[in-house]
Each structure stands twice: as C-alpha cells, then as structure tokens.
C-alpha cells in the first residue's frame, strides 16, 4: 500500500470509528430535542481532520493509539461541532449550509440550538475522561490541555468578530499580518495543536515530544485557516459543502495580500509543520500525510 492509499484507509477508519463511537455514546443520553440537535451537528459528515490529528499523533508513540486515543478524538470532534454551531449563527457568520446540509439554527428551535453547544462540550469531557484505556493521569492532563485551548479559541473567535473590516488602514499601519496571525493561532491553530498534543499525551509521549506535536499542529492549523480564506473566495458551495463568500469585507490573508500570496503562505506553514516532524521517523508518516492533505481540502 502506497502512502496515499495508507492515508485514505486511515481517514476511512477514523471516520467510521468516530461515527460508530459517537453513535453508541449518544445512546446513553435521553432522546431530547437538544440531543437531536447535537447529533445533527456532529454526525454524518466532515473530514474529521482533528480526530485524525489526535490519532496520528498518538500513533507515533504507541501502536495501540487508535483505541487508546479514540474517545478523546471523538471529544475533540464534539467540541469542534459545538464551535461550528456557534460560528454559523446569525450573530456570527450567518451561514446557511454546513457539511452539505442546512445549518443547525435553520433546523431546530432556537432554545435547542442555544443549549446544544453546551451539551456537546460536556459530552466531550464525559467520554474523554471515562476512557478506560488511558491512565488517570494522562486523561486528566489531556482534559486540562483541552480546557486551556478551548478558552484561547474563544478569544480568537472574539478577535475575529470584533476586528475591523479589511481596509487600507491595516496596510498602511503594517499591523494586518500580526493581527491575522494572532487570530489564526487562537481561532484555528489551537484546535489542531491541542488535538495533536492530546493524542501525544494519551499515548505516553514525554514533555518535549508533546510540545513538538503541539507546534506541528499549530502550523497545520494556520495553514488550514489560510487555505480556508482562499476557498471562501474561489470554491463553489458544492466543492466545500458549506456556505462560501462569508469573509467579504473581513481582514483575511486573501484580502490583505491576494489569492496567490495567500496560497504561498499556506504552503509555507504546511512546510513548517512537515519540517517539525523531521524529529520523528516513519512512525509519523500518517501525520505527515495528514499535514499534506488537510490543507488542500478545506471543509
């Protein structure tokens, strides 16, 4: 099996594993409207890049990482689904389509939409901390790291919403790139960084390797977000299965530097993530494949 086939098989395994695990996990909760909204938001679509990052990072340190890290990988996906519900709200991006279907707020009562993100976050911690295959110390360490990252991501989202519209002032002041990089680190970089970090923690990596995987995930996340800027301008809705042209008037790499320069910057950060993985051997090939692929197909 060549590298591309290996990554494709891994991605299929992750998607199936996440869907099956979460389908069983949801059975433990009453079939309320809030749970239905959570299921709608979290199952039946998505590339599962963050779950893949958790599992691929863990695989560097333990051959049984898929089973050991799967509950946490599913928790990361639940937290991501919670963030997407919020991102799509009329008060934020006002998006109508996500993962090829109407956004959650267009399908469920507002009160259920208001509670679903909290349900998803609490469920994420419940399934992650109840994991019988990881030691107590590693489960707690991963959960604390996820909490810290989640708080930083909220800061990134606020930064994005409160930021001034793109304009000549940012170009003249020279602060546009600094503002964007900080926003991308918090809003998107943290999600990938903590996914990789949590996988490394749960699989028994030492502190230095945990930091290395965090740094790799951060570079991957920044590359992913810049690629998403480009996709928002040039991709068709059918290609990315979500609303596009949502960044009109916002400060992004694409609006600040143009599409070609944004693509080049995404490539640079992808190269940085791959260079960080030079610290490892063939055991990191799944994560290398993920870095190369995730930044080229954005959903």
Average pLDDT over residues 33-37: 98
239 vs 156: which has the higher pLDDT: 156
pLDDT at 228 (0 to 100): 87
Q: Which parts of 45-188 are beta strand (E)?
A: 97-98, 101-102
- Give 32's contacts (C-beta < 8 A, 6+ positions apart): none
Both tokens of residue 251?
Answer: 């400060």
Q: What's the pLDDT score for residue 254?
A: 83
Average pLDDT over residues 54-66: 97
Instruction: Please indicate, yes or no, if residue 261 is contained in any of the structural domains.
Output: yes
Other beta carbons less than 10 A from residue 20's beta carbon:
12
Residue 187: half-sphere exposure toward Cβ, Cα within 13 Å? 23
| Prediction pTM value | 0.91
The dihedrals phi and psi of 29, each to the nearest 5 degrees, come to: -115, 150
Question: For residue 84, is pLDDT > 90?
Answer: yes
Average pLDDT, the chain: 88
For position 268, which CATH number holds? 1.10.600.10
Q: Which domain, by its residues, includes 63?
A: 3-294
Distance separating alpha carbons of residues 196 and 44, to the nearest angstrom: 23
Distance CA 248, CA 30 (A): 41
Mean pLDDT of 114-132: 97
Cβ-in-10-Å burial (0-12, 13-18, 19+) of 275 comes to exposed
Q: Are 72 and 199 in contact (CB under 8 A)?
A: yes
Q: To which H or E segment does residue 66 belong?
A: helix 65-88
| Average pLDDT for 12-16 | 96
Structure tokens at 2: 């060549």
Given a contact cutoff of 8 angstroms between Cβ atoms, the answer to whether 203 and 62 are in contact is yes
Tokens of 183: 């926003």
Q: How many domains does the chain have?
A: 1
- Per-residue pLDDT reduced to its tens digit, 245-266: 565 567 788 888 888 988 999 9
Per-residue pLDDT reduced to its tens digit, 189-231: 999 999 999 999 999 999 999 999 999 999 999 999 999 888 8
What's the pLDDT tens digit per position in 88-97? 999 888 888 9
Asked if the structure places residue 282 within a domain, the reply is yes
Tokens of 190: 């943290």
Q: Contact at 8 Å (CB) between 6 and 285?
A: yes
Query: Is 299 contained in some domain?
Result: no
The stretch 82-102 carries a mean pLDDT of: 90
């Amino acid at each position: 099996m060549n590298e591309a086939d290996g990554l494709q098989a891994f991605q299929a395994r992750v998607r199936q594993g996440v869907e099956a695990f979460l389908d069983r996990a949801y059975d433990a909760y009453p079939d309320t409207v809030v749970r239905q909204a959570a299921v709608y938001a979290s199952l039946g679509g998505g590339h599962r890049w963050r779950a893949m990052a958790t599992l691929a990072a863990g695989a560097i340190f333990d051959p049984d990482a898929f089973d050991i890290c799967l509950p946490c990988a599913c928790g990361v996906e639940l937290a991501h689904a919670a963030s997407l519900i919020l991102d799509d709200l009329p008060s934020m991006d006002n998006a109508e389509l996500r993962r090829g279907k109407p956004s959650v707020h267009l399908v469920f009562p507002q009160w259920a939409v208001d509670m679903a993100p909290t349900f998803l976050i609490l469920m994420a911690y419940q399934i992650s901390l109840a994991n019988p295959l990881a030691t107590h110390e590693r489960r707690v360490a991963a959960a604390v790291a996820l909490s810290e990252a989640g708080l930083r991501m909220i800061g990134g989202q606020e930064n994005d919403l409160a930021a001034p519209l793109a304009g000549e002032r940012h170009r003249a002041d020279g602060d546009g790139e600094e503002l964007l990089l900080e926003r991308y680190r918090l809003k998107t970089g943290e999600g990938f960084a903590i996914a990789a970090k949590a996988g490394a923690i749960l699989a028994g990596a030492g502190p230095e390797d945990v930091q290395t995987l965090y740094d790799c995930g951060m570079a991957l996340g920044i590359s992913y977000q810049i690629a998403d800027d480009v996709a928002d301008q040039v991709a068709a809705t059918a290609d990315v299965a979500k609303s596009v042209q949502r960044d009109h008037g916002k400060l992004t790499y694409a609006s600040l530097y143009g599409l070609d320069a944004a693509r080049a910057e995404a490539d640079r950060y992808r190269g940085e993530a791959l260079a960080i993985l030079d610290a490892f051997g063939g055991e990191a090939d799944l994560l290398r494949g993920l870095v190369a692929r995730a930044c080229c197909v954005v959903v």
